[in-house]
């Protein structure tokens, strides 16, 4: 009875109403509490010295180390009231840890051609280092380029730097991301995604217009970053006048330094406060529920101010957590301080994404619930407590089946340290890990597996071939991809007609390499000209490029949203033509936002599709694809898609399930597809991608005819593979002779 009593939340009843003094003696105790054990404290990094493993030279002495602390502390006392915006920015720039090491950093760049810079996220390395290089004249002889793994980061950092320099975004400071170029002839500091820099190699193989190239967030090891390492290492060897800076947030800098011929390492310490690391006593069965309980526990027991950051794996989990938290805090009413819940994931409308950066009102606490985008790319001020579930979603590609799986996997130890570091930015913090210390030491990998070892290499192989790199197996990769992935990519490019039988790039391959899309999509766009539907194919390609973020399906209006979606599907042609009709009708309404709300469509996604379409149209002109239209010919449009995606086909078997044609894998139509609810299943379908979540699902499905495949790819399909076994009759039994 006593134990039950200790677990109850105190609720004063009408009969037994206690005095205020007595009530305040109680603490809130929830039914399900999580016990944490503190094992260690990550030390504060306020007084670290900057070191550099340089050729016979060390950067950093006691005076510099002292200034690293004294500058921010001195600046903190300045009263900002009455100052202009520019003055405020100038003062806040001086508060950044990077400012104390400005001269030291510049002399390190001067002495070394390749420099590996290690700095905590938030130390100012992305925004400040390009400006320091500009201030001392590196931009007089060429541009300063800086790559980012994520589009969001490239755009937001460029906006911030243009503000700091007091110039208009797109002039002296600009950014370039896929399907969006915000630069001009006067641009001297250019931020871009690593994929865009790879595309620049096509037109400028020696990067002649750049004097400095910064590869930022190198520790994320994205597919494009790893390819860039090999190409940039090559450029550094034959161009003495270019400076290369590899910037990383974690301490595996030795690996980068060794790869770049023993480059120098320069450390910029972040202003980090001590962080207590707490582990659970026993493993948690449900990390989502455990995360919600930990947030409430922290909110009630820890003093204000101090915001909370929770790491979950994806949109669905984030929405569920927001729902549960809202429900539970509403139940407690005014007895707890206000808790502002801010989700962050890629398909969330931008105005809602911006809420995570808003200042928390006094007397309340903000809880940011996000994916691992908040691990390195974004810095959110005021975070004091981190709840780390220990999981993230990782994309894995199987070259044998051609299937991409998005699977929830445990994070690496390096990523867990990175997450913990978010807590000690502005004040001493705590990191609650929802797993045991034993799990951290024995079950987590040391480093995250690089993207290049678990991605489809098709696009990269086509790009390297068009750069004149033919010996792919011996290309200087930091971590080589599996040979099987390379062979599969070469085989696929050969089947598409981009390579000849000697592995050389064909004329078609050269045209395909101009498009920043998947090689299969490039082939579909080029083939659509002959089928007289290039205008429609452009729309389909643009809509497919914005993923599955076109339709908005709020839980409370799911039926209305589904009906609106099915209206676009009328007229056949599967998901590809549904997307096309959706875009065309939006154009007919003169790009109406109101119409989008009524039809449960995301305005932001459609605007993005419009930009993508314009870019693709320009590229079609460049490779001389004529714009022709046949709007009512659904067969021609589906055939154009099949010209590139003939690899991705499945047929309906007698068992009542779809099987892929080549590998006979059982696959299912994704529930979000307009064909999922059809009683009458088409015998042959083509899919945009295979994704493994709970089952092996086909995404974006269109019905096709078997005879098209023999016509489009006679070198890949034999007529007997495409015979429909359902129409065949069993041979008659011949009576045995006596």
Instruction: Tell me the per-residue pLDDT of 339-364, one tens digit each, with 9 for 90 and over.
Output: 888 888 776 766 677 788 788 888 88
Do 541 and 607 reside in the same domain of the chain? yes
Do 249 and 288 reside in the same domain of the chain? no
Specify the range with the lowest mean pLDDT, choosing from 35-44, 292-301, 504-513, 532-541: 35-44
**Which of 268, 285, 312 marks a domain boundary?**
268
pLDDT confidence of residue 736: 56
Q: Which pair of structure tokens corresponds to residue 72? A: 């921010």
Q: Which pair of structure tokens corresponds to residue 198? A: 């790879």
Asked whether residue 267 carries a pLDDT value surpassing 60, the answer given is yes
pLDDT confidence of residue 725: 53
**What number is the average pLDDT over the span 127-155?**
88
Do 590 and 442 reside in the same domain of the chain? no
The residues that bridge with 343 in the sheet, in sequence order, are 369
In a domain, 42, yes or no: no
CB of 719 within 8 A of CB of 661? Answer: no
CB of 709 within 8 A of CB of 719? Answer: no
Confidence of residue 59 (pLDDT cuts 50, 70, 90): very low
Do 322 and 244 reside in the same domain of the chain? no
pLDDT confidence of residue 192: 92
**What number is the average pLDDT over the span 500-529?**
89
Do 239 and 310 reside in the same domain of the chain? no
In a domain, 20, yes or no: no
Model confidence pLDDT, tens digit, residues 603-623: 888 888 888 898 888 888 888
Cα→Cα distances 645→221, 455, 530, 639, 671, Å? 29, 18, 16, 10, 21
Mean pLDDT of the chain: 80
Please tell me which of 11-15, 43-47, 507-511, 721-725 the model is most confident about, judged by mean pLDDT: 507-511
Reduced to 3 states, what is the DSSP secondary structure of residue 231?
helix
Do 309 and 197 reside in the same domain of the chain? no
Asked whether residue 570 carries a pLDDT value surpassing 50, the answer given is yes
Model confidence pLDDT, tens digit, residues 308-320: 999 998 888 888 9
Specify the range with the lowest mean pLDDT, choosing from 207-216, 443-452, 458-467, 676-685: 676-685
pLDDT confidence of residue 347: 66
Do 236 and 357 reside in the same domain of the chain? no
**Order of strands, edge to edge, in the sheet holding 338-344?**
36-42, 275-280, 429-433, 383-388, 307-311, 364-370, 338-344
Asked whether residue 454 carries a pLDDT value surpassing 80, the answer given is yes
In a domain, 412, yes or no: yes
In a domain, 152, yes or no: yes
Q: How far apart are CA 46 and CA 93, in angstroms?
A: 17
Please tell me which of 39-48, 346-355, 603-612, 722-731 the model is most confident about, judged by mean pLDDT: 603-612
In a domain, 738, yes or no: no
* Vertex 668 angle, CA 662 and 671, to 5°: 150
Do 394 and 535 reside in the same domain of the chain? no
pLDDT confidence of residue 119: 82
Structural domain tally of the chain? 3
**What number is the average pLDDT over the span 502-518?**
88
CB under 8 Å to 158, separation ≥6 — which residues?
169, 173, 174, 175, 182, 191
**What number is the average pLDDT over the span 442-453?**
86
Q: How far is CA 107 from the centre of its chain?
A: 35
Q: Which pair of structure tokens corresponds to residue 392? A: 């993230």
- Who has greater pLDDT, 378 or 282? 282
Angle, to 10 degrees, between the axis of helix 603-622 and the axis of helix 574-588? 100
**Which of 396, 423, 451 marks a domain boundary?**
451
CB of 49 within 8 A of CB of 64? Answer: yes
In a domain, 466, yes or no: no
pLDDT confidence of residue 599: 85
CB of 370 within 8 A of CB of 380? Answer: no
In a domain, 492, yes or no: no
CB of 106 within 8 A of CB of 234? Answer: no
Specify the range with the lowest mean pLDDT, choosing from 151-165, 234-248, 392-406, 518-532: 392-406
pLDDT confidence of residue 692: 75
DSSP state of 156: H
Angle, to 10 degrees, between the axis of helix 458-466 and the axis of helix 483-496? 70
Q: How far apart are CA 372 and CA 219, in angstroms?
A: 14
Do 570 and 713 reside in the same domain of the chain? yes
Asked whether residue 446 carries a pLDDT value surpassing 80, the answer given is yes
DSSP state of 727: G
Confidence of residue 32 (pLDDT cuts 50, 70, 90): low
Do 234 and 383 reside in the same domain of the chain? no
Do 259 and 343 reside in the same domain of the chain? no
pTM, entire model: 0.75
CB of 143 within 8 A of CB of 209? Answer: yes
Do 203 and 342 reside in the same domain of the chain? no
pLDDT confidence of residue 13: 39
CATH code of 327's domain: 3.40.50.300
**What number is the average pLDDT over the span 482-497?**
88
**What number is the average pLDDT over the span 204-219?**
88
Confidence of residue 146 (pLDDT cuts 50, 70, 90): very high
In a domain, 697, yes or no: yes
- Who has greater pLDDT, 394 or 6? 394
pLDDT confidence of residue 220: 82
Reduced to 3 states, what is the DSSP secondary structure of residue 337?
coil
Domain hosting 549: range is 514-723
**What number is the average pLDDT over the span 226-249?**
88
pLDDT confidence of residue 179: 74
Q: How far apart are CA 731 and CA 121, in angstroms?
A: 71
**Which of 451, 467, 497 marks a domain boundary?**
451
């Amino acid at each position: 009875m006593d134990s039950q009593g200790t677990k109850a939340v105190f609720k004063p009843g009408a009969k037994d109403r206690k005095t205020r003094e007595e009530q305040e003696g109680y603490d809130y105790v929830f039914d399900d509490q999580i016990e944490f054990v503190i094992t260690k404290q990550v030390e504060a990094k306020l007084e670290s010295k900057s070191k550099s493993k340089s050729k016979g030279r060390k950067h950093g002495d006691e005076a510099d180390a002292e200034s690293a602390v004294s500058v921010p502390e001195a600046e903190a006392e300045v009263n900002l009231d009455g100052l202009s915006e520019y003055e405020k920015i100038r003062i806040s720039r001086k508060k950044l840890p990077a400012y104390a090491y400005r001269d030291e950093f510049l002399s390190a760049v001067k002495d070394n051609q390749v420099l590996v810079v290690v700095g905590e996220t938030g130390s100012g390395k992305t925004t400040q280092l390009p400006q320091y290089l500009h201030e001392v004249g590196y931009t007089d002889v060429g541009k300063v380029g800086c790559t980012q793994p994520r589009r969001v980061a490239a755009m937001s950092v460029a906006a911030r730097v243009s503000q700091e320099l007091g110039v208009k975004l797109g002039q002296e400071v600009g950014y370039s991301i896929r399907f969006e170029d915000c630069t001009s002839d006067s641009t001297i500091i250019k931020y871009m995604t690593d994929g865009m820099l790879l595309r620049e190699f096509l037109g400028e193989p020696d990067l002649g217009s750049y004097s400095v190239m910064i590869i930022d967030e190198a520790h994320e090891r994205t597919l494009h970053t790893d390819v860039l390492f090999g190409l940039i290492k090559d450029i550094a060897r034959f161009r003495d006048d270019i400076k290369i800076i590899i910037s990383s947030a974690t301490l595996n800098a030795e690996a980068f330094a060794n790869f770049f011929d023993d480059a120098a390492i320069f450390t910029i310490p972040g202003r980090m406060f001590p962080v207590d690391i707490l582990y659970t006593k026993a493993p948690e069965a449900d990390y989502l529920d455990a995360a919600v309980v930990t947030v409430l526990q922290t909110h009630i027991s820890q003093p204000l101010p101090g915001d909370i950051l929770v790491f979950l794996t994806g949109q669905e989990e984030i929405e569920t957590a927001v729902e549960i938290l809202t429900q539970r805090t509403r139940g407690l009413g005014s007895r707890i301080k206000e808790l502002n819940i801010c989700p962050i994931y890629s398909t969330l409308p931008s105005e809602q994404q911006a809420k995570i950066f808003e200042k928390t009102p006094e007397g309340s606490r903000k809880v940011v619930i996000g994916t691992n985008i908040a691990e390195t790319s974004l810095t959110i001020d005021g975070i004091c407590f981190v709840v780390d579930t220990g999981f993230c979603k990782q994309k894995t590609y199987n070259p044998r089946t051609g299937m991409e799986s998005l699977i929830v996997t445990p994070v690496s130890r390096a990523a867990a340290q990175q997450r913990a570091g978010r807590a000690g930015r502005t004040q001493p913090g705590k990191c609650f890990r929802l797993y045991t210390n034993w799990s951290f030491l024995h079950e987590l990998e040391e480093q995250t597996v690089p993207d290049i070892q678990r991605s489809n290499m098709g696009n990269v192989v086509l790009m390297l071939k068009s750069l004149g790199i033919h010996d792919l197996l011996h290309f200087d990769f930091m971590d080589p991809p599996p040979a099987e992935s390379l062979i599969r990519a070469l085989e696929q490019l050969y089947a598409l007609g981009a390579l000849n039988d000697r592995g050389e790039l064909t004329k078609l391959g050269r045209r395909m390499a101009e498009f920043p899309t998947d090689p299969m999509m490039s082939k579909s766009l080029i083939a659509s000209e002959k089928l007289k539907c290039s205008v429609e194919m452009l729309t389909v390609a643009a809509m497919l490029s914005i993923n599955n973020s076109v339709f908005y399906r709020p839980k409370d209006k799911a039926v209305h949203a589904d009906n609106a979606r099915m209206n676009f599907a009328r007229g056949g042609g599967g998901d590809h033509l549904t997307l096309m009709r959706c875009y065309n009708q939006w154009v007919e309404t003169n790009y109406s936002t109101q119409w989008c709300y009524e039809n449960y469509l995301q305005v932001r996604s459609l605007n993005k599709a419009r930009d993508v379409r314009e870019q693709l149209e320009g590229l079609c002109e460049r490779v001389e694809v004529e714009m022709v239209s046949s709007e009512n010919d659904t067969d021609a449009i589906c055939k154009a898609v099949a010209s590139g995606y003939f690899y991705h086909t499945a047929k309906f078997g007698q068992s009542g399930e779809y099987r892929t044609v080549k590998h006979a894998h059982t696959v299912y139509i994704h529930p979000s597809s307009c064909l999922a609810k059809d009683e009458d299943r088409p015998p042959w379908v083509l899919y945009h991608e295979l994704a493994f979540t709970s089952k092996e699902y086909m995404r974006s499905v269109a019905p096709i005819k078997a005879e098209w495949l023999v016509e489009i790819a006679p070198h890949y399909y034999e007529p007997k593979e495409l015979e429909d076994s359902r129409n065949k009759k069993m041979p008659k039994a011949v009576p045995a002779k006596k």
